[in-house]
Structure 1
Amino acid sequence: MLKRIIQIVILNRLHIIASAPAVMWCWSEFLKIHFQSIDYLIITLAVACICQWNRLTDVEEDALNCPEELKDAQSKSRAIKIFCFAGGTIAILLALFTEPAWPLAGLVAFGAAVGYFYNTPFIPSKPHLRLKNMYIIKNVSSGAGWSLGLLAFPMLRAHTQPDGLFLMAFIYMFAMVMTYEIMWDIRDVEGDGRAGIRTLPVVLGINSARVYAVTLQIVCLAIIISGLTHARLTSLWSLYLLPSMMLMTLIIFFPLLIRYNRNLSHVLVMGLNVFACLGGFLAMRFA
């Protein structure tokens, strides 16, 4: 029974979707910004639509990388399409009508464009002309999308001005998302290469991609250590050292585990959810 539940969660990418509200709540507690309740719904719905749409559009690479997940998605193709178009429309309308302001409208439009064209070609006749196929842009667009959606969007709707603490959190999250993307690209290097997706591991090789990932985590560590050293961060922020240390250990010492164990990526996302919930709880109680 438990195995079946886990399988359903992974096939439908529910663990990735759940990470959106969990990480949002964690940041809100650490930054002491009260995000609006409806923003959790908007962002979770947006992430769910992007995740589900991604299941349908990555046909060529997923046929090799995760054929079972692709087969499940194709069997639900009609339902997924209806959910994505309806859910995406609802998320956009909720965002625009609950806070009608031009800066937010621009951010919503940017987020919608990145979310859609990340998986969908700009020109239908050129299926490889999408953000996901573009060298470096793939990782940057993903990092920007998650960071703007989970941090900048709810911060602006909370009518809070970005300060140094927010900027540190934004850079940390941007680098963290890009690191996860590179690790997943290492895992999917064979299928991505055959599908013409120009990821870092495909273009530069796995070892060079690992160097980039470690560098990003050094940036994350430097942000937190610098903040703690100069008393810009409370001691509770030292919790954010743990994910970076764990990822660096995996990248440096266990590259084969990243490359060949697909379940590791799912465990990491589930672990991220637990960390975010625990971190948010501790920040709520003690920060």
Structure 2
Amino acid sequence: MERKQLLSHDGKTLAALYGALPVSLRSSTNRFRNALMYSSAYLALIAMAEVVVVSVILDLPPTPAALVVGLTVFAIYANDRLADADTDALSNPGQAAFVRRHREVLYVLASIAYGVAVALSVLGGPLALGITLLPGVCWVWYATDWIPGGGGHARRLKDVFLVNTIVVALAWAVTLTFLPLAFADAAVTGTTLFVFVYFFLRVFTNTEIPNVRDVEGDRAIGVSTLPVVFGVDRTRHILTGIDLSTAGLVIAAVSAGYLTPILAVPLLAGLTYSLGVTAFVGRYENERLLARAAECEYLVVFAALVVAVAV
């Protein structure tokens, strides 16, 4: 009798453990997802995929450029989220709460990431070092009102209409295009200039789509973006025009011999995806998911490129 009771008790214990397992697994999955998304780690992975795309298009050998860019992106965007935690509480409360809760850890990780990125960039020479430092310098001008040397203050570039997005697009287009080139010690060609313009336009678009989600918060703190100035509907039309113009640029590059048709296909696949995402701007309630979807354009390009090269 006692043995039966013991077996029954053990059976209930095992059943309770098995019942708790899905809950524990779900909780761990959610924590991992939040850390990946809210810390900006996922942006680092996307940036590394972008560098691979650039290296394939420019026919460059493997270099540490992808790792350097990934670490730099993580550092810059983690610091940006730390700086904007208070204002993000309105437009993105989940992210703001995560950043506040892990402020010290994020600050340390971001500092280490940028330090390692700068150290690795030295392997590529002075030009690679300068390009790696560029996003950090631009971020200081973009996100803070501090003037070096004089200790004074000026209006943040983040608050200035169009200048804010142009600075972001320019900094990342330069980094993504020319850092792999610097590591490989390769020459600038017509294809290089095409890649630079392509990424400038893509980053511009992918910077403004999340601004639709942040329109109320940006308006409250005086930040001027396309959605704040022109409204959501006109912003959708403008971004669609940029997507179509970029597609025209890709076709022109193929016609001019700067890009092979097989490499144009992944870029056009990404632009088709982007047009689909842009069509939902202002029409889809989950604006946060829409912003994430826009950032995944480069993963579409990367996947299509892998298929194209394999074939």
The CA distance in 1 between the partners of 2:156 and 2:285, in whole Å, is 25
User: What is residue 89 of structure 1 aligned with on the other side?
Assistant: 115
What's the TM-score once normalised by structure 2's chain length? 0.81
Q: CA deviation at 1:35?
A: 4.2
**In 2, Cα distance between the equivalents of 1:31 and 1:276?**
15
In structure 2, what is the equivalent of residue 196 of structure 1?
222
Greater Rg over alpha carbons, structure = 2
Q: Secondary structure at the match of 1:135?
A: coil
- 1:143 equivalent to 2:208? Answer no
Q: Following TM superposition, by how much is the alpha carbon of 1:212 offset from its aligned partner in structure 2, in angstroms? A: 2.6
Letter in structure 2 aligned against 1:277: F
Q: Quick check: 2:247–2:268 contact (8 Å CA) kept in 1?
A: yes
Shift of 1:280: 3.9
How far does residue 105 in structure 1 lie from its aligned partner after superposition?
A: 4.3
Structure 1 match to 2:307: 282
Question: Is 1:12–2:39 an aligned residue pair?
Answer: yes
1:55 aligns with 2:81: yes
Percentage identity across aligned positions? 20
**8 Å contact kept, 2:85–2:100:** no
Residue 9 of structure 1: how far off its partner (Å): 2.1
CA change 1:283–1:170 in 2 (3 A) is: farther
SS for the counterpart of 1:34 is: coil
1:157 equivalenced with 2:183 (yes/no) = yes
Residue number in structure 2 paired with 1:100: 125
Give the alignment's Cα RMSD to 1 decimal.
2.4
Q: Distance in 2 between matches of 1:272 and 1:281?
A: 12
* 1:265 CA displacement: 1.9
Q: Distance in 1 between matches of 2:258 and 2:174?
A: 23
Cα distance change on mapping 1:90 and 1:246 into 2, 3 Å: closer
Structure 2 partner of 1:247: 274
- Which residue type is aligned with residue 298 of structure 2? L
TM-superposed CA distance for 1:65, in Å, is 0.6
Q: Distance in 2 between matches of 1:117 and 1:130?
A: 6
Flag the structure with more relative contact order, 1 or 2, with Cα contacts below 8 A and sequence separation at least 6: 1
- Compared CA separation, residues 211 and 257, structure 1 to 2 (3 A): closer
- Worse overlay, 234-243 or 66-75: 234-243
What's the offset of the Cα at 1:27? 1.8
Does residue 131 of structure 2 align to residue 112 of structure 1? no
Unpaired runs of at least 5, structure 2? 1-24
Equivalent-residue separation in structure 2 for 1:152 and 1:100 (angstroms)? 13
